[in-house]
Amino acid sequence: MTAAVLIMLWVQNETSFDNYKDKDSIYRLTTRIPAEGWVWETTPLLLADAIKKEIPEVEKTALLNTNNWPVFNVKGNLFYGKECAYVDNGWFSLFHYDFKEGNPSSFNENPFSIIITSSEAKKYFGDNNAVGQTIRIDSMNYQVKGVVNDPAINSSFQYKAYIPIAALLSNKTIRENDEQWNNDNYVTFIKTASGVNPENLTKKITNVRQKKTNDKEGTMSLTPLKEMHFENEISNSAFIHGNRNTVYIFSFLGFLLLLIACINYVNLTTAKASIRAKEVSIRKITGANRSNLFFQFLIESLLISLISLIATIFLIQICLPIFNQLTEKNFLLPLSSIGLWQILGITLLSATLLNSIYPALLLSSFKPLNVFRGITLLKTKNGTFRKSLVVLQFTVSVILIAGTIIIYKQMQFVQNNNPGYSRSQIVYFTLPYTISQEKKGSIMQAMKQDLLSQSAVEAVTTSNQPIANMRSSCSGCADWAGHDTSYNPRIAQLSADADFQKTMQLQMKEGRWFRNDVADKHGFILNETAVKDFKLRSPVIGQTFIFKRDTGQVIGIAKDFTYKTMHEKIGPMVVFNNANWQNHFSVRAAPKSASIVLASIKNIWRKYVPESPLEYSFLDDTFNNLYKEDQQSSFLILVFAVIAVIISALGLFSLAAFEAEQRTKEIGIRKVLGATVAGITRLLSKDFIKLVCIAILIASPIAWWAMNKWIQNFAYRISLSWWIFLLAGMIAVLIALITVSFQSIKAAVANPVKSLRTN
């Protein structure tokens, strides 16, 4: 029950995301550029006002910007407000927030205002009132206008501070950039009037956008707020997204855990049915009808389930901190929580129904005369039913064992597979966007020279993005000899300097990397996939290539490397060397010198960029974080699979004990007649092992089908070898043998004289 409740707690959280008031009429605008294959959750800044004026079906709009991280200055310590959002005047009108102090109206009056969560208020001001206090942000004093409750864990808006968009637009450069219709930098939410047809509204919004931007290809669509959490087509998202398939898997796993535990109860109840046969018969003779007996056994099951539920409540409170750590959630379950009691109620009802229906029907069906004559159905129907349940239990167990092995092998493959570059000992960081283009070049050159002068630094390179999770790409931005103009694939675009190959230890297939000379200013390096997809004829080196309206030559072909995750296939890539694009440093430290290099980076940063905080990451950590969700899900599945196998083994242990008890005299007679301990153990074990073998035959094709579906999520994956399913079956047989043999040996070594004296 505890395992099932924890699983359903996670499932309920995932399926109840963004449960705001009026959620059914709130949508997020989605921008689609079909020709380039783009799907964005952002829109132009000016679109919200335009559609509100021109489309009466739109009642409210709200804007959100999380692209610009403000710099917070708290007691001299600088840090980026990564969990800070810029919102417009309509935000707190569209989305409901519980204000502990202040109100949203005063927030909208002054652009240099801020609303913070209660946890942030406590961090900054302790137990003092936060409203009216000031916080230093981006060299300006912002006044706290309100304090709201911390966001719910099932909200997409996990922000700790809110600042008016007007403050962002007070920066002339940002305002001029954002007020252009071709810049999509803002997430736009709308609330529609009741009865509005979403399809018709979509067409009207698309018409407004196309008219304002003169872009006849780009279209708009409406994403319902309640469906936003599970969307998976967005190119880059500011929100945390879930996986609907993972929710289905965990829901099914929670049900299976409860089912196999209930199978144990049903098996033991029906196995001991013969003990209660005479009790039932006497009750019937004295006037009890079948419905009375049915409800009696139903209530017995309910009482046992209730006792289990009480234990479950205590176990949940004990396990919750560990579960929160595994899922990186912050579930709080006070006994006053309606959500908790809903889940407990569903679990109790499910357990009671699974536990009680068949035993109650069986026990209430005995015919008194047949029982007293020694005639019973237990040796036929009940025995077959019990065996079927054991097969079902171990079928589930074998599927989970095989699934766990496959998941482990795939995650090992991901971790150990060579991505095509060396990711160890590399620290990377990015210059802040606030540095002007005129100053950026000289600062980067000076910082690079200072870094290279450090003895603990092996190599330094600059680029436009980190290699482990490259997101910058374009479509329709390249041309080459023989290009079919109807074919415009999405191309990853990497701007990298002459030291990038050495620092990342990339391999070249043909040609060379960039050199520090003017001749390479218009040179391009393609990856193997680009050469193949573009159908370039040999020799490729020296061919004319056009990229981003710059005409040059192909100087090299780099071997393919994984620049996203293994969920996605490697696509075509073009590498060029344009210093104006580059604001990202990658520094390779000498072995065992990472801490020294990090200290040097901090000193150099303070020298050149003292007004901004340093944000750095290790490439290894970034790579591992790409698979964080997979690893969390895999570990949880492993934990619950182990629980399921233990439950199945407990059921088999109990049945073996009951079987040995029922055959006590038979075992005694066999021992008197010369049977060995090994022979008796084999006799008592073989029937159970047969059932497990049947379960393996049933489970293997099901496990292959299910895991084949799961593994398709990875573009690069292991093959499902036959030995995996054989190993899963052998583990199940071994567990069954250990479980059954314990009881069998115990019965076999018992004194036969005592066995034969037993009444």
Cα–Cα distance, 318 to 642 (Å, whole number): 19
- Amino acid type, 200: N
Residue 344 lies in a domain: no
- Amino acid type, 367: K
Cα–Cα distance, 98 to 147 (Å, whole number): 9
Residue 27 lies in a domain: yes
Spatial CA neighbour of 523 closest among 542, 503, 499:
542
Strand, helix or coil for residue 232: coil
Q: What percent of the chain has pLDDT over 90?
A: 37
Provide, for the chain, the percentages of residues in helix, strand and coil under a 3-state DSSP scheme, each rounded to the nearest 5: 55, 20, 30
Could you tell me how far CA 650 lies from the centroid of its own chain? 32
Cα–Cα distance, 233 to 661 (Å, whole number): 60
Condensed to tens digits (0 to 9), the pLDDT of residues 17-48 reads 998 888 889 999 999 887 666 788 999 999 99
Q: Helical H runs in 461-546?
A: 500-504, 528-534
Of 230, 262, 290, the residue that ends a domain is: 230
- Read off the pLDDT of each residue in 399-403 and give the average, rounded to a whole number: 90
What is the reported pLDDT for 108?
85
Quote the pTM value. Answer: 0.80
The tokens of 366 are what?
């005995």
93-97, 209-213, 515-519, 556-560 — which is least confidently predicted? 515-519
Cα–Cα distance, 616 to 598 (Å, whole number): 9
The answer to whether the CB of 621 falls within 8 A of the CB of 469 is no
Burial class, 479, CB count within 10 angstroms (exposed 0-12 / middle 13-18 / buried 19+): middle
Of 230, 250, 267, the residue that ends a domain is: 230
Spatial CA neighbour of 635 closest among 246, 331, 240, 258:
246
Residue 104 lies in a domain: yes
Indicate if the pLDDT at residue 707 is higher than 60: yes
Indicate if the pLDDT at residue 365 is higher than 70: no
- pLDDT category, 512, cuts 50, 70, 90? very high
Indicate if the pLDDT at residue 91 is higher than 90: yes
Other Cβ atoms within 10 Å of 386 Cβ, number? 21
- CA dihedral sign of residues 513, 514, 519, 523: positive
Condensed to tens digits (0 to 9), the pLDDT of residues 441-482 reads 899 999 999 999 999 999 999 999 999 888 888 877 899 998
- Read off the pLDDT of each residue in 495-507 and give the average, rounded to a whole number: 95
Cα–Cα distance, 425 to 594 (Å, whole number): 6
Of 212, 230, 248, the residue that ends a domain is: 230
Q: What percent of the chain has pLDDT over 70?
A: 92
Residue 35 lies in a domain: yes
- Amino acid type, 54: E
Residue 92 lies in a domain: yes
Domain hosting 486: range is 433-611
Condensed to tens digits (0 to 9), the pLDDT of residues 651-686 reads 888 777 777 666 667 777 777 777 777 777 777 778
What is the reported pLDDT for 159?
94
276-290, 531-545, 574-588 — which is least confidently predicted? 276-290
Q: How many domains does the chain divide into?
A: 2
- pLDDT category, 90, cuts 50, 70, 90? very high
